[in-house]
């Protein structure tokens, strides 16, 4: 019988989320084009091998603030939304240019929480994803930050793209969600402060013990999601029926390692619930 890791080779529909910190040079907070080109090449190669790939990409606000010369993450809502509008266009331009070099179509899908909450619009989103994948395109998903309202984010926004990627996994009925993070996976404690913290290779069931272990911290100044957000995403993805892996986005070839069955990152095993209702998790 195959191990859970060996079964990664058989995954057909894969959602991959990459965070802002994995897309930017840490010294300048400008786009790391070499890494993005490598990411795109890997995604196209996966598609060429017969897999369906959806990318959830952060980075709109980070790219926007860099474009207009801001050195710190903006605090004011109008500035955040302006940065998102500027940055999202530039980020998609980069993605489309590089995907085109590999004869692949990149398609932008911007979502808000209300899109998922509304039954009609949610069905429309499902149909759009289905058609894009049928056409051989790679959907690139982000929250529509230029219109989402941060002050009441518990009502209007997903909160972070870890959660968004888990929701997308549910909407498209994905087999696997890979979160590319700024850390190797989930540790027994914060490895930045505790040298004795050890990497957890596999989580069969997310109970209160693992929820408490997820620390709401992030090393990056450009990202928003910490380990607590990733554990919350894992709860959604696994009960929806997908396996989820957290691995280090500093080396995007970890995607290939995960899908080759190698023991990289932390694997959260699927625990599909027959009574799963996405609306209870949005």
pLDDT tens per residue, range 107-164:
999 998 888 989 999 999 999 999 999 999 999 999 887 776 544 344 556 668 999 9
Query: pLDDT, tens digit, for every residue of 48-77?
Result: 999 999 999 998 989 999 899 887 777 788
Percentages helix, strand, coil for the chain, rounded to the nearest 5? 45, 15, 40
* Contact call for residues 202 and 4 (beta carbons, < 8 A): yes
- Record the pTM: 0.91
Higher pLDDT, 39 or 193: 39
Q: How far apart are CA 187 and CA 210, in angstroms?
A: 10
Residue 275 pLDDT > 80: no
Count of CA atoms in the C-beta half-sphere (13 A) of 241: 15
All domains of the chain, ordered by start, with CATH? 6-280 (3.40.1160.10)
More confident residue, 172 or 278: 172
- Across residues 227-250, what is the average pLDDT? 93
3-state secondary structure 131-154: HHHHCCCEEEEEECCCCCCCCCHH
The chain-wide mean pLDDT, for the chain, equals: 88
pLDDT at position 151, please? 40
pLDDT, one tens digit per residue, over 163-218 is: 999 999 999 999 999 999 988 999 988 888 888 889 999 999 888 778 777 654 44
Q: How confident is the model at residue 79 (pLDDT cuts 50, 70, 90)?
A: confident
Cβ-contact 180, 32 below 8 angstroms: no
């Amino acid at each position: 019988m195959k191990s859970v890791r060996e079964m990664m080779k058989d995954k057909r529909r894969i959602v991959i989320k990459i965070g802002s910190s994995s897309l930017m040079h840490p010294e300048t907070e400008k786009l790391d084009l070499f890494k993005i080109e490598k990411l795109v090449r890997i995604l196209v190669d996966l598609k060429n091998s017969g897999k369906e790939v959806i990318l959830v990409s952060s980075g709109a606000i980070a790219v926007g603030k860099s474009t207009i010369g801001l050195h710190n993450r903006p605090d004011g809502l109008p500035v955040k939304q302006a940065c998102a509008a500027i940055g999202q266009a530039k980020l998609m331009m980069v993605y489309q240019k590089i995907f085109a070099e590999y004869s692949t179509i990149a398609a932008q899908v911007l979502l808000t929480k209300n899109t998922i909450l509304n039954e009609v619009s949610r069905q429309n989103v499902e149909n759009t994803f289905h058609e894009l994948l049928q056409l051989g395109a790679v959907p690139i998903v982000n929250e529509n930050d230029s219109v989402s309202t941060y002050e009441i984010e518990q009502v209007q926004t997903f909160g972070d793209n870890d959660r968004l990627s888990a929701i997308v996994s549910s909407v498209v009925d994905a087999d696997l969600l890979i979160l590319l993070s700024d850390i190797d996976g989930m540790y027994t404690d914060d490895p930045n402060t505790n040298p004795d913290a050890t990497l957890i290779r596999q989580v069969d069931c997310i109970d209160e013990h693992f929820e408490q272990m997820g620390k709401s911290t992030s090393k990056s100044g450009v990202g928003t999601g910490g380990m607590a957000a990733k554990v919350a995403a894992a709860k959604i993805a696994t009960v929806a029926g997908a396996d989820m892996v957290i691995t280090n986005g500093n080396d995007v070839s970890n995607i290939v390692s995960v899908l080759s069955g190698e023991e990289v990152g932390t694997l959260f095993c699927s625990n599909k619930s027959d009574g799963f209702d996405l609306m209870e998790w949005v």
